[in-house]
Structure 1
């Protein structure tokens, strides 16, 4: 399935607090490539970081998920880059759980520069979407997320 990146701004306002999370980072020298821009792999690492922080915030870190009997593994990442980030930029990284059905979940991410002087909504740097597949941590086979895990992330049933 080719993922279509939804409008992260619309999603953010329409989802419950359990299904969204954000963090703010400052671009450091180690984030830069040879062109003095944030390297594309760093954007993906930031997306993974905000997803992990979100799970931890909800009490659903790796250990809790292992104990529950299902863990998410990435199946596909799609990233659209709009503008580069540079040393010292402040970047707001948002994630929103947009879909959760069967053995699959989808997270959308929005990465915005929020430096002094930027518009209140920030300047869009990139958007990402990841399709996650829930698997049994012992067998590695696809498995539905347990109801308690789904509920913790703001999904019923």
Structure 2
């Protein structure tokens, strides 16, 4: 699956609530690098934290997934940076499950600045990310189709055995 970052804002408005989540955070000194802006790797940490919060909200955290016999592991990350985040910035990290097929799922993320003076609803886009996840058996580490309960809980429909639909 070759990743290309979709128009996350359009996706956000059209996806069911179970497939999307957002968190708001403040940039602290621990996020900064020697150039006094947020280090590139921190954006990825924030994206993963938003994904975990989404899973926890739906009661599909790591232990629940392990009990169902499949956990996601990252296969590929793509991040486009537009502007730097700075100390004291108020940020919104949105994540949306955009695709699910067999053993793979794709999450899109947006990171927007929401400081005073920024456009109130949309903010200022700082970065977009997309991660391709592969579902694996937590014991063997081998790829595994996603359990139906996981597919349903995250807002995808199941049409028949092994046939998921967005």
**Fold-level match, TM-score > 0.5?**
yes
Structure 1: tracts of 5 or more residues without a match:
none
Q: Give the deviation of 1:156 after TM superposition.
A: 1.6
Cα distance in 2, alignment partners of residues 119 and 156 from structure 1: 35
- Residue-by-residue CA offset, 1:7-43 (whole Å, 9 max, x unaligned): 1100100100000000000000010011000000000
Cα distance in 1, alignment partners of residues 34 and 18 from structure 2: 38
Aligned residue in 1 for 2:153:
152
TM-score by length of 2: 0.94
Aligned residue in 1 for 2:63:
63
Structure 2: tracts of 5 or more residues without a match:
159-166
Cα distance in 1, alignment partners of residues 26 and 145 from structure 2: 36
3-state SS of the aligned residue for 1:138?
coil
Aligned residue in 1 for 2:112:
112
Whether contact under 8 Å (1:147, 1:156) holds in the other structure is no
3-state SS of the aligned residue for 2:48?
helix
Q: Give the deviation of 1:92 after TM superposition.
A: 0.1
3-state SS of the aligned residue for 1:3?
coil
Q: Give the aligned CA root-mean-square deviation in angstroms.
A: 0.6
Aligned residue in 2 for 1:130:
131
Cα distance in 2, alignment partners of residues 53 and 74 from structure 1: 16
Cα distance in 2, alignment partners of residues 25 and 37 from structure 1: 15
Cα distance in 2, alignment partners of residues 136 and 20 from structure 1: 25
TM-score by length of 1: 0.99
Cα distance in 1, alignment partners of residues 156 and 67 from structure 2: 19
3-state SS of the aligned residue for 2:46?
helix
Cα distance in 1, alignment partners of residues 2 and 105 from structure 2: 14
Q: Give the deviation of 1:132 after TM superposition.
A: 0.1
- Residue-by-residue CA offset, 1:69-127 (whole Å, 9 max, x unaligned): 00000000000000000000000000000000100000000000000110021000000
Number of residue pairs matched? 157
Runs of at least 4 residues of structure 1 off by over 4 A? Answer: none
